Amino acid sequence: MTSPRFSTGNLLDKDVSFCYGSYYNSLCLFIDNIHNLKLRFDNSQEAIEECKQFAAFNVLTQQLLLILI
């Protein structure tokens, strides 16, 4: 379940406003470490775009996100 702060807009500095983008959720951290992506972890539009690009081009990640949703 997504943290309530994502619906209120009170994101933490290291949260990414994207599916499972909570810094403390760790899913994005694990994906980043496994694939050595060096993703940003902040509230920037660039961080959101990095997550979108990775999800769009990685079928395994899309399947994992669908399972978790």
Q: 14-51, pLDDT tens digit by residue?
A: 888 877 677 777 777 888 888 888 888 888 999 888 88
Look at residue 46 in the predicted model and tell me its pLDDT: 93
Contacts of 41 (CB under 8 A, 6+ apart): 14, 15, 16, 23, 28, 29, 47
Number of domains in the chain: 1
Choose between 16 and 66: higher pLDDT.
Answer: 16
Do residues 16 and 27 make contact, with C-beta atoms less than 8 angstroms apart? no
6, pLDDT greater than 70? yes
- Which residues span the domain enclosing 40? 5-68
Look at residue 16 in the predicted model and tell me its pLDDT: 82
